[in-house]
Structure 1
Amino acid sequence: MARPRDKRADGTGPPVRSNAAARHTSGHSVGPARHLGAVRRTPVWLKATTIVISVLLVGVVAFGAYWFIRLQGNISTQALGAGNARTEAAPDDATGRMQILILGSDTRDGKNAQYGGAADSTGYGHSDVMMLMDISADNKRVNVISFPRDLLVDIPKCKDPKTNQEYPAQTGVMINAAMSEAGIGCAVDTVNRLTGLEIDHFMMADFNAVKELSNAVGGVDVCVSDAIYDPDSGLRLAKGTSTVQGEQALSFVRTRHAFGDGGDLGRIKAQQSFLSSLTRKIKNDGTFSNPARMLGIADAITKNLTIDDGLASVPTLLTVGGRLKNIDVGKVAFVATPTEPAVSDSNRLQLAEPAASQLFAAMRKDVDLTDPNATPTASAGATAGAPASAEPTASQAAAASAYNKALQPVTVANGSGDPARANELLAALNAGGFTQTGQLNARAMATTAVYYGANFADVAADVAALLGIPASQVLPAAGVAGVQVYVGSDYTGGAQQSDAPVALPKDIVNQTAGDAVCQQANPALITR
């Protein structure tokens, strides 16, 4: 059938419809037949909803990416160690027992320049604050051990990871100088040697961190027994409870003279009280469940934080932070390392024995310091660091050279209450070949222990075996030269004793995070 021709001369007329289509319409203007299918349109509401959801998704992704990049970019890193050997693998971030060394740097560069000139801190700076945070594997308790900056310790040989320069070992040096030459890793190695633990991570914050963190949480409540003013730090507080933030918060944790007798121990207790109050505020305010507040705190912290490479990712930091959110504040124990005035310098401190070695032994055994008689965590043995036993490992035994018993310094401190006991032990030591012996005056003690200094672990093990003292009661002690037998009232002679738990001073815990403690003001700085 021939198609009709277009009636327009220029060929622009309407298209010619087929006869089949025409049969189903009543006129040329009606359009296609209904049963051939109408063009479907997307409802306006569905289009709008799709656009809104897409925008929200893009916004959420962009917001998350922004904060991830920002927080990750805030972080600075340094090496965990300074060339000293490690024996443990990294713990599980979520469930492994974890020790983190927390340092406050006194560096005066950049944002911290207002607190002094470059001459006030050299090299990597000094650690203005040093605390060891020990998180249990079951995430139910935390021990926080403070080390006074004036504590004299032995610093091992350290290597600067940036320059590869090696620095020789030092004896009788203030612990806050451990990182000044070879970096933070040297401070980590020093605390490892001091405690017999193997620290997993570190976090170092500068002065500005305290200011920004206290601002981010809206201030921290602190308490003092009397109104005080410290012109050196600028701290001025009324009697009773005050809320400090910014510069006042920094002054509170920095002041060296405002509390106690104006020494370092009063400062430590004030820092512990500040952290306890901060912990309570974060938990009571529901900060862990408030994303906006958590981001603000994370931003304030990471901008002023240096951490080791193993901790240097936002997901890892969030995992570690998540471990702390459900811990009972009564199970966060703050402890000061037992010290006494140093024999070599009365203005410095040395470890007080046997209390310091007892504390470190309890930490190695993963003891709950708020309840020393509780059963240690099941996984403690696998993650608690160096063993409490003085018995060397196979590799150490193979590397150790034989020694001459007659040249090894061994002293006896008689705390048994029996004046004849020291002579019995000295006679047994001499008969066993240890002839370079001496005797010390000692306080009464319930539990016998053998303490040893650096490089005397094998000698101490032999002395303990000779006297019938269990290996679990042989402990490293940084303040001991050679080997010291501290005999207690439990000593019954050469027979092997029961494997008694490590004794701890009753007042070893200064406070828990659940305690609101008022600091005793230094009488010299009280104002009226």
Structure 2
Amino acid sequence: MRHGSIPGGRNAPYDPHEPGWDDSPYGNGHGQPYIPQQPTPHPTVPQQPQRGGYRPEEPQRGGYPPQEPYAPYQPADYDATGYDTGGYGDDGHRADYGAYEDDGGDGASTGTLTATQGDGADDDGHDGSGRRGNRRRKKGKRRALRWVAIVTSVAILGSAGAAYAYYQHLNANIKKDALNLGDSQAAKSKANAAGQTPLNILLLGSDSRASKANQKLGGAKADADRKPLADVQMLLHVSADRSNMTVVSIPRDTRVTIPKCTDPDDGQVYPETTSETINTSLQHGGPGCTVATWEKLTDISIDHFMMIDFAGVVSMADAVGGVPVCVKGNVWDKKSGLKLTKGDHVIKGKQALQWLRTRHGFEDGSDIGRTHAQHMYMNAMVRQLKSSAKLNDPGKLTGLAEAATKALTVDTGLGTVKKLYDLGNDLKGVPTDRITMTTMPWGADPQNPTAHVVPTSAATKLFTLLRNDQAVDGKAAKKKKAATATATAKASPKGEIAVTVQNGTGSTSVPATPGRAGTVTEKLKTLGFTQAESDSTPQSQSGSTITYASDDEQADALAVAKALKLPTGAVKKSSSAEGITLVIGADWTAGSTYPAASSSDTKEVLDSASALNASDDSACMKVNPYNSW
């Protein structure tokens, strides 16, 4: 899969091999100016000293000669991050950014990512000094830019960031890929009575080591040529009226059906598989196959994806001045490098990356605990972003935008700074106390119970709530009437409508509920649809659907849906349909008519999904006693 930047912009592209320049963006703080830019710095004098700060009109501290004043309307040197890559430990090994061994021994990952870690790494992560631009933007635009930061801050695996400004040259930084590489797609969400539609964004964290920066941050340089995994995946669902937001994490060890995917760049076809975990879907052609996998699993149409690498979290955490976190005891995860004392901390730079990658140090040492730590971090960042005055500084916004867009890969429909700006502006009204972080309810995989997990019935209910655009926090402002189907054209007499009924309640891990097709077929006949027939062809769907082939069958299909109390969104036109076909999904395992969502369903989802509200600032991570000190 090609992940190169889309050509564009009027500045010359960054060339790490340009003679006479430091090719390490995290090296000694010299940075890498674009060409042309400010004059080439003296080869022995740091462009921006690590200590004392940059003062454009005064002599620099530490005996350095004065620098030229910063010209705010010239192309800026955004790569001068000021990061120290760390020293050497007593054992002589390089102490890079929290070198981490993501051990594949549990069967969850393909390959083992190894690296060494010394003792010389700086715990602060960032001792540099950035430039401040003097441009000012209108207050409303700053708020929208801040909301772009908020929505993308939930994509974490050592990953965070997005476009925070709308400068045209930033578009060239953004990498783009196809949205869906599968051979089928879920039906698009239907608009509500006000013409509003829900928004579903898949947030991915790639463990790619393809760049030098990501190798330093993630370790395992030997894996630079390995196809990346998506160890963190989160579905962000925003309600049609933008009153609430639900974020669903899925454990990386979840065994799923990865559908057939085709790489659009080289034409390679990856056949469907039921034996792999969801994090490997990224290796089946790119993020578009991960999108296809989620749609297959949830039957929820995904509008966009955002994928971010390791480098983004460092810039993001520093840009907001650090993110507050809490641990219930001393924690030392030697795999990630995270070492904290009991209590509250503000983490930034590489320490933030260590927090987000820590698995062994939290809770039971599994990936589940890591997702909970990520939720805590993301909620804290949302609160920080909404209250921070730092992002009102256009200079900081500009520097962050440059770093973030370089780390960001999005679908082609979201591939400009303007579109990211519009997205942030669209989401700025979601209240903090209506943002809910959840983990997909899971159980041990019968095929490999010690290594993999599979979705439970509560997961099916969670996906149904999202598919029907129902809030999972139980705080819906007004009780809405059930959105049952209504025919828009005159339907045929019931006795003349032929309906094929199939049982799709099973999956690769859960057997089908027996007799479902027969039960619903008999119900249809008692309702007057005497030509209804059951079909024993095995199917597998999370959500129930009624499909029809041609426009003249739409009214008949809607009549069937209304009779069975199915929501309008379940009725879909399909070129592969043969007449009107009802597939009973995993969301309808009992009863002869479609069940309406109940408060007990919401409670079950909240109880089993480890829900955490973004307004909760009292959350504190439980420490694994085997990784304490």
Q: Give the shorter-chain TM-score range.
A: 0.5 to 0.7
* 1:66-81 mapped onto 2 (5 Å cutoff): 68-81=167-180
CA distance in 2, matches of 1:345, 1:374: 43
Where does residue 190 of structure 1 map in the other structure? 293
Matched, 1:104 2:210: no
Where does residue 146 of structure 1 map in the other structure? 249
**What's the CA shift for 1:83?**
4.2
Where does residue 228 of structure 1 map in the other structure? 331
**What's the CA shift for 1:226?**
0.3
CA distance in 1, matches of 2:411, 2:587: 39
- CA pair 116-458 structure 1, distance change in 2 beyond 3 A: same
Deviations 1:425-452, CA, capped at 9 Å, x for gaps: 89x99xx99899xxxxxxxxxxxxxx96
Which of 167, 174, 177 aligns to 2:277? It is 174
Where does residue 441 of structure 1 map in the other structure? none
* 1:425-440 mapped onto 2 (5 Å cutoff): none
Give 2:330's aligned amino acid: A
- The 3-state SS of whatever aligns with 1:333 is strand
Where does residue 447 of structure 1 map in the other structure? none
Give 1:249's aligned amino acid: A
- The 3-state SS of whatever aligns with 1:303 is helix
Where does residue 307 of structure 1 map in the other structure? 410
- CA pair 346-500 structure 1, distance change in 2 beyond 3 A: closer
* 1:80-479 mapped onto 2 (5 Å cutoff): 80-86=179-185, 87-88=187-188, 96-110=197-211, 111-114=213-216, 115-117=218-220, 120=223, 124-286=227-389, 289-371=392-474, 374-375=477-478, 410-411=512-513, 453-454=540-541, 471=566
CA distance in 2, matches of 1:339, 1:404: 23
- The 3-state SS of whatever aligns with 2:276 is strand
Give 1:351's aligned amino acid: V
Instruction: Please identify which structure carries the higher strand content.
Output: 1
Contact 1:75 1:307 in 2 (8 A): yes
Contact 2:331 2:623 in 1 (8 A): yes
CA distance in 2, matches of 1:96, 1:403: 29
CA distance in 2, matches of 1:336, 1:214: 23
Matched, 1:511 2:598: no
**What's the CA shift for 1:138?**
2.7
- CA pair 118-83 structure 1, distance change in 2 beyond 3 A: farther
- CA pair 373-501 structure 1, distance change in 2 beyond 3 A: farther
Deviations 1:138-187, CA, capped at 9 Å, x for gaps: 33322111011111100010000111111100103100011112111000
**What's the CA shift for 1:325?**
3.2
Q: RMSD of aligned C-alpha atoms?
A: 4.7
Contact 1:221 1:244 in 2 (8 A): yes
Where does residue 85 of structure 2 map in the other structure? none
Give 2:323's aligned amino acid: V
**What's the CA shift for 1:341?**
1.3
- CA pair 63-147 structure 1, distance change in 2 beyond 3 A: same
**What's the CA shift for 1:230?**
0.5
- The two structures have a TM-score, normalised by structure 1, of 0.67
CA distance in 2, matches of 1:334, 1:456: 22
CA distance in 2, matches of 1:454, 1:97: 21
Give 1:132's aligned amino acid: L
CA distance in 2, matches of 1:362, 1:485: 10
**What's the CA shift for 1:374?**
4.9
- The 3-state SS of whatever aligns with 1:252 is helix
Contact 2:72 2:135 in 1 (8 A): no
Give 2:172's aligned amino acid: G
Contact 1:143 1:332 in 2 (8 A): yes
Give 1:106's aligned amino acid: D
CA distance in 1, matches of 2:428, 2:569: 37
Contact 2:375 2:437 in 1 (8 A): yes
CA distance in 2, matches of 1:404, 1:184: 31
Contact 1:333 1:509 in 2 (8 A): no
Give 1:214's aligned amino acid: A
**What's the CA shift for 1:129?**
1.1
- The 3-state SS of whatever aligns with 2:437 is strand
- The 3-state SS of whatever aligns with 1:322 is helix
Deviations 1:497-516, CA, capped at 9 Å, x for gaps: 87454722142462111112
Deviations 1:474-528, CA, capped at 9 Å, x for gaps: 99xxxxxx9779877xx6xx6x58745472214246211111210001111111x
CA distance in 1, matches of 2:240, 2:542: 31
Higher Rg = 1
CA distance in 2, matches of 1:58, 1:483: 58
**What's the CA shift for 1:63?**
10
Give 1:453's aligned amino acid: S
Contact 1:412 1:485 in 2 (8 A): no
More displaced stretch, 293-302 vs 158-167? 293-302
CA distance in 2, matches of 1:485, 1:327: 28
Deviations 1:224-247, CA, capped at 9 Å, x for gaps: 100110110000111111111111
- The 3-state SS of whatever aligns with 1:109 is coil
State percent identity of aligned pairs: 31
CA distance in 1, matches of 2:344, 2:569: 45
- CA pair 330-57 structure 1, distance change in 2 beyond 3 A: same
**What's the CA shift for 1:75?**
1.0
- The 3-state SS of whatever aligns with 1:351 is strand
CA distance in 2, matches of 1:193, 1:404: 17
- CA pair 402-249 structure 1, distance change in 2 beyond 3 A: closer
Give 1:510's aligned amino acid: A
- CA pair 324-520 structure 1, distance change in 2 beyond 3 A: same
**What's the CA shift for 1:323?**
2.9
Give 1:139's aligned amino acid: R
Where does residue 520 of structure 1 map in the other structure? 622
Contact 1:124 1:181 in 2 (8 A): no
- The 3-state SS of whatever aligns with 1:77 is strand
Give 1:109's aligned amino acid: A
- CA pair 239-381 structure 1, distance change in 2 beyond 3 A: farther
**What's the CA shift for 1:299?**
2.7
